[in-house]
Amino acid sequence: GAVVSQHPSWVICKSGTSVKIECRSLDFQATTMFWYRQFPKQSLMLMATSNEGSKATYEQGVEKDKFLINHASLTLSTLTVTSAHPEDSSFYICSARESGTFKNEQFFGPGTRLTVL
Amino acid sequence: AQSVSQHNHHVILSEAASLELGCNYSYGGTVNLFWYVQYPGQHLQLLLKYFSGDPLVKGIKGFEAEFIKSKFSFNLRKPSVQWSDTAEYFCAVNAPGGYQKVTFGTGTKLQVIP
């Protein structure tokens, strides 16, 4: 089956620093990837849609200058949390949709736990 | 805009009991519907999906869901739960076309007692 990986699986950083999270589709190409965040005991909230070769589409209320997304290739999207603060601590999950299909199915990565001190 | 509501936030069942988790969506057009499961400490996995055709969909691990268009519902069922079904279950919807943005419900935590 389609596999999506994320790196790192967890990260702890100091307030004010930037953190980069990678999302890779391992055995398929993904024109479109999605970034979600999940707060404890809450659902996944879509942050942005990452499109290979073009700018990401951000959801309302998500700061594009704070959450930088780069979809450099058909198998890699990165999310950089810039100048992280404790309120950015969360579980970040990416998903990828296989290119060239109409399956409308997304495959999820295992998530990255970010803790900002 | 599409939205999803799951009315049961926390369900506790004994093993062998039957399960039904409610899911209602709000969207006027054609939709794709999903149920995902997140076992403790693990990532989201697809349980089943509905795109078109037979409204009764069978998924993995004995789960099934029925799409009732008139009720905008996609309830998840399992006739006999096991302790290993303890997990959080998310209903999700997306509208075909565009970027296939998926909207998730708030999730239902299922606890199965041996």
pLDDT of residue A1: 66
Average pLDDT over chain B, rounded to an integer: 90
pLDDT at A20: 97
- The pLDDT score that the predictor gives to residue B29 is 79
Whether the CB-CB separation of B34 and B51 falls below 8 Å is answered with no
> Given pLDDT bands bounded at 50, 70 and 90, which one contains residue B34?
very high
Nearest to A108 among B43, B94, B96 (CB): B43
With CB atoms and an 8 Å threshold, state whether B99 touches A105. no
| CB nearest to B99's CB, from A49, A108, A109 | A49
**DSSP string covering B27-93:** -SS--EEEEEEE-TTS--EEEEEE-SS-SEEE-GGG-EEEEEGGGTEEEEEESS--GGG-EEEEEEE
Per-residue pLDDT band at B30 (split at 50, 70, 90):
confident
Residues of chain A with Cβ-Cβ distance to B101 below 8 Å are 34, 46, 49
Among A47, A57, A58, A105, the residue to mutate for chain B (most B Cβ within 10 A): A105
pLDDT digits (tens, 9 = 90+) for A59-116: 999 999 999 999 988 899 999 999 999 999 999 999 998 776 656 678 889 899 999 9
Closest C-alpha among B20, B11, B36 to residue B93: B36
Determine the Cα–Cα distance for residues B61 and B48; give it in Å rounded to an integer. Answer: 10
Residue A109: its chain B contacts at CB < 8 A?
Answer: 43
Residues 10-69 of A with CB under 8 A from B: 32, 34, 36, 42-46, 49, 51, 57
Cα(A23)–Cα(A82) distance, integer angstroms? 17
What pLDDT score was predicted for residue B100? 65
CA-CA distances (angstroms) from residue A67 to A43, A102, B47?
A: 19, 29, 30
Cis previous bond, A8, omega within 30: yes
Lowest-pLDDT range of A8-22, A81-95, B25-39: B25-39
Nearest CA in chain B to A104: B100
- Distance from the Cα of residue B111 to its chain's centroid: 15
pLDDT of residue B44: 85
Whether A114 and chain B come into contact, CB under 8 Å, resolves to no
Asked if B99's CB is within 8 angstroms of A32's CB, the reply is yes
Average pLDDT, chain A: 90
CB-nearest partner of B43 from A43, A97, A110: A110
Residue of A nearest to B45 (CA): A108
Asked if B43 lies within 8 A of A44 by C-beta distance, the reply is no
Average pLDDT value for residue range B40-52: 87
* Average pLDDT, integer, range B27-31: 81
B99 neighbourhood in chain A, CB within 8 Å: 32, 49, 51, 57
